[in-house]
Structure 1
Amino acid sequence: MTKRVLLYLTLAAGAFVSVFPYLLVVLTAVKTQAQLSSTAPWLPPLPPTAANLTEMLAGDFPRYVLNTALMTLALTAGQLVFTTFAAYAFARLRFRGRDVLFWLYVATMMVPSAVTMIPLFLIMRELGLVNTWYGLLAPYVLGTPYGIFLMRQFFKGLPAGLEEAARIDGAGPLAILVRIMLPLCRPALGTLAIITVISSWNSFLWPLIITSGDETKVITVAIATLKSGIGVDYNLMMAGSLIALAPMVAVFIFFQKHIVRSVALTGLK
């Protein structure tokens, strides 16, 4: 009983530490400037106000949410399509230099993304893609080393006999991938989709560098611009953060079973 009590106390403490920042976001978003300066951050306001949320939704912030949603949708679709093709080629097709090329590509994961931002920006500038949707999406829509590595390892775990039987029946590589492999890879595809959605929705550094207009501005950049030269409006920043956080919470609520299942990817049942 003592061990069980200690276990639950530890879990409760960990849960509180994890949830507390989100609680502060909610409480600050429904406070006025006077309430924020006169009460402790963790105390609820009396009465709460929706003025901050209304002000954010009445301006251009909904456009930035839509821009972020479109960017996330495009990046997720591109990742799933191009990553799957590349991973299948590295896992199943035989060509000269396959393994060397794959491990060289995976080795780029050791390079911090901040190091490549300036070269990427210079490339986009020479191509005339600064402050455009093409420049925003191009570096990541065709796949990432982590996504290709994840899908390749899953493909390699599938029985080779399935492909051999399909080849005997006259199926080509594309038919094998689409009709046999992809239905078996739904757990891995779900994992890749969830990771891509979260990383794309929270992306900040690259959108900050490559975009400058409202047509392509995303919510992370929009929230950062609420900081003025004379101070920070924490109420509006937290209201914007609460709006930005809501879709991710919805994703977790609706797909939590798949998220938990995808943590430990398994092969065929």
Structure 2
Amino acid sequence: MSVRWLRNTILYVVLGVGAFVSVFPYLMVVFTSFKTGRQLNSTSPWLPAIPGTLGNYTKLFNGSIANIAFPSYLWHTVLLTAILTAGQLVFTTLAAYAFARMRFPGRELLFWAYVATLMVPNVVTMIPLYLIMRQIGWVDTWMGLVAPYVFGSPYGIFLMRQFFQTLPRDLEDAARIDGAGVWATLTRVILPLSKPILGTLSILTVVFAWHNFLWPLIITSGDDTKVVTVGIASLQGNLGADYNLMMAGSFVALVPLIVVFLLFQRSIVRSVALSGLK
């Protein structure tokens, strides 16, 4: 009993230290966001502000910062996340079902060639994508912002295809015997059984879209299309960075994901398990 107790104690201590190391940067974001410039320079960054101030948040939302429309950036991020999530669910599902169930020449070759693009870093395709968007006039537009991601992704299609292949074909055969076509089979038989993987894809897409920074930074320049990640980076001016405002903006951007995690803890844990699906 003593050996087991000691082993469990060591395990929980290690887990506790790991959890603290993971959470500590977020605590520093919160502490810094409630500090004034004088407090930031006079206190340790890992100590909370005493007394704290809401002045940084007030500046973000009352429009007192020149050339920064932070509430608009938040709305743009919400809209971008909704568009990308809806697009991923629709187009990824259709493509994955075609690769998993339909027979056509070159299906396997086309699928694995598409999945092989996962090995190409995103930064490699940024300049070609930007040049394409400039040629068709989509720079600094919503079309240019969403076009590279709204029609599906290699990882999402791979994930959905692998899940579809685990479903019994007998269900589809029975639906066809009853007179159901491809669309009816997909919507009435396959999709109701695919809620876990659809939830996984939704969560992964929401997190990606909310945190996406490099492509919005490249393709957008005006306030009409700027998202919150680029808006936070804009708080760093030529005369230096206002870390108090940046941390306040970072915490505001972090709150929606914290809410999503608290509301969908079980789905997120399940999504982590399903994302390792063979």
Give the TM-score normalised by the residue count of structure 1.
0.98
Q: 2:56 is matched with which residue?
A: 52
Please report how far the alpha carbon of residue 101 of structure 1 lies from its aligned counterpart in structure 2 after TM superposition: 0.3
Which contiguous aligned blocks of 4+ residues in structure 1 show a shift greater than 3 angstroms? none
Q: 2:66 is matched with which residue?
A: none
Please report how far the alpha carbon of residue 212 of structure 1 lies from its aligned counterpart in structure 2 after TM superposition: 0.5
Taking the TM superposition and a 5 Å limit, the aligned residue runs for 1:131-210 are 131-210=140-219
Q: 2: distance between equivalents of 1:192 and 1:246?
A: 21
Please report how far the alpha carbon of residue 97 of structure 1 lies from its aligned counterpart in structure 2 after TM superposition: 0.4
Equivalent position to 1:38, from 29, 37, 42:
42
Q: 1:80 is matched with which residue?
A: 89
Instruction: Tell me the secondary structure at the aligned position of residue 215 of structure 1.
Output: coil
Please report how far the alpha carbon of residue 225 of structure 1 lies from its aligned counterpart in structure 2 after TM superposition: 1.0
Q: 1:71 is matched with which residue?
A: 80
- Alignment size in residue pairs: 266
Q: What are the Cα deviations for residues 172-194 of structure 1, in whole angstroms up to 9, with x where unaligned?
A: 11100000100110000000000
Q: What are the Cα deviations for residues 110-151 of structure 1, in whole angstroms up to 9, with x where unaligned?
A: 000000000000000000000000000001000000000000
Q: 2:114 is matched with which residue?
A: 105
Please report how far the alpha carbon of residue 263 of structure 1 lies from its aligned counterpart in structure 2 after TM superposition: 2.1
Give the TM-score normalised by the residue count of structure 2.
0.95
Q: 2: distance between equivalents of 1:242 and 1:55?
A: 14
One-letter code of the match for 1:165? A
Q: 1:224 is matched with which residue?
A: 233
Q: 2: distance between equivalents of 1:104 and 1:135?
A: 25
Root-mean-square deviation over aligned CA pairs: 0.9
Question: Which structure 1 residue ranges, 5 or more long, are not aligned?
Answer: none
Instruction: Tell me the secondary structure at the aligned position of residue 114 of structure 1.
Output: helix
Q: 1: distance between equivalents of 2:139 and 2:217?
A: 11
Q: 1:244 is matched with which residue?
A: 253
Please report how far the alpha carbon of residue 262 of structure 1 lies from its aligned counterpart in structure 2 after TM superposition: 2.1
Q: Does 1:264 align with 2:273?
A: yes
One-letter code of the match for 2:230? V
Please report how far the alpha carbon of residue 42 of structure 1 lies from its aligned counterpart in structure 2 after TM superposition: 0.8
Q: 2:139 is matched with which residue?
A: 130
